[in-house]
Amino acid sequence: MTATIDRLADPLAPERLDPLIGAALAEDVGDSDLTTEGIVPPEMTCRGKIVCKQDGVIAGLPVTRRVFQLVDERLQFDAKTQDGQKVQEDQIVARLFGPARSMLRAERVALNFLQHLSGIATLTSKYVKAVEGTKTQILDTRKTTPGLRALEKYATRTGGAVNHRMGLYDQILVKDSHLALANGVSPALRAVRKAHPEAMVNVEVSNLQELEQALNDKAPRILLDNFAPGQVREAMQIIRGRAKVEISGGVLLTNARAYALAGADFISVGALTHSATALDYSMKVTRY
């Protein structure tokens, strides 16, 4: 299990990254770039610069670099900042030099990765800022784009969040569906502990009755699902430090701090990956 987790947690490793980039290039370029090959001579070289068009947090520069490398090893990529740094409108984040045809062929795919991952990092940083000064950690979720989970979770880490489970294989989270099929909190916890006696167990509860059952069964971590901040405060009075507490559902930038101040150890936010708006970038080129 550990080897699998380590492999997925390193999304920039070539064996993980290159197939994704290859699929994206095949989708965009196909057999050829008809327009560029009709206009730009094969021998032409050019300079390029990638410019951020709005303020945010950058993520995905190594991916961007790799796109250009895979399209043409002759393309030179000079990053002017690094992942996790704040960027401003009109800031140049990278400069390029090399064959013009290749640079244009790689452009859209490179920028698509950069804008998507930077958007996630930017939104994540806002949630992290919202709970600053409290004990609460912001977590991501499994609500990711199919095939891009490792990269998207890399982007949330870049924005300051902590990764929740990478998949179904690396942590135990007893959810409402499990409770329904197992006929309640206690039977579900007994079953999962029998199957995995050494594992840390997190159980999701949707009301105070389920919370009491989870505490009676000594669940070490409890997820309060769709509790309002006031309900969280009430739940914390019942829990009294007997379990770590995670909040999920209904968390927005406008109320994240209220949840943190209510006493949550963790807040998991699906929106970090499923609703982040891309950070806008453009590439400008000049003949050389």
Which domain CATH number covers 212? 3.20.20.70
Q: Which residue has the tokens 């006031």?
A: 230
pLDDT score, position 3: 39
Q: Give the pLDDT confidence score for residue 160 in this predicted structure.
A: 97
- Please state, rounded to an integer, the average pLDDT across all residues of the chain: 95
Residue-wise pLDDT for 236-247, tens only, equals 999 999 999 999
Q: Are residues 258 and 169 in the same domain?
A: yes
Tell me the per-residue pLDDT of 44-92, one tens digit each, with 9 for 90 and over: 999 999 999 999 999 999 999 999 999 999 999 999 999 999 999 999 9
Which domain covers residue 211, as residue numbers?
A: 162-268
In a domain, 139, yes or no: no
Angle in degrees, 0-180, between the axes of helices 61-71 and 14-29, rounded to the nearest 10 = 60
Are 113 and 217 contained in the same domain? no
pLDDT 10s digits, 254-264: 999 999 999 99
Instruction: Please tell me whether residues 172 and 262 are part of one structural domain.
Output: yes
Residue 167 lies in a domain: yes
* Catalytic residue list: 108, 143, 175, 204, 225
283 and 223, same domain (yes or no): no
Does 175 reside within a domain?
yes
Q: Give the pairing of strands 91-99 and 76-79.
A: antiparallel
CATH number of the domain enclosing 48: 3.90.1170.20
Same domain for 117 and 27?
Answer: yes
Looking at the structure, tell me whether residues 236 and 283 fall in a common domain: no
At residue 42, does pLDDT exceed 60? yes
The reply to whether 129 falls in a domain is no
* Structural domains counted in the chain: 2
* Predicted local distance difference test score (pLDDT) of residue 165: 92
Of 225, 265, 271, 267, the residue nearest 245 (C-alpha): 265
**Position 136 in a domain:** no
The predicted model scores a pTM of: 0.94
Strand order in the sheet with 221-225: 137-139, 266-268, 244-248, 221-225, 201-205, 172-174
pLDDT confidence bin for 9, thresholds 50/70/90:
low
The verdict on 259 and 281 lying in the same domain is no
Does residue 144 belong to any structural domain of this protein?
no
Are both 193 and 169 inside the same structural domain? yes
> Is residue 43 domain-resident?
yes
In this structure, the answer to whether residues 282 and 237 fall within a common structural domain is no
Going by C-alpha positions, the residue among 53, 75, 54 that lies closest to residue 66 is: 75
Same domain flag for 217 and 236: yes
Q: Tell me, yes or no, whether 152 lies in a domain.
A: no
255, 217: one domain:
yes
Whether 67 and 84 map to the same domain: the answer is yes
26 CB-contact burial (10 Å; exposed 0-12 / middle 13-18 / buried 19+): exposed
Of 125, 121, 68, 54, nearest in space to 97 by CA: 68
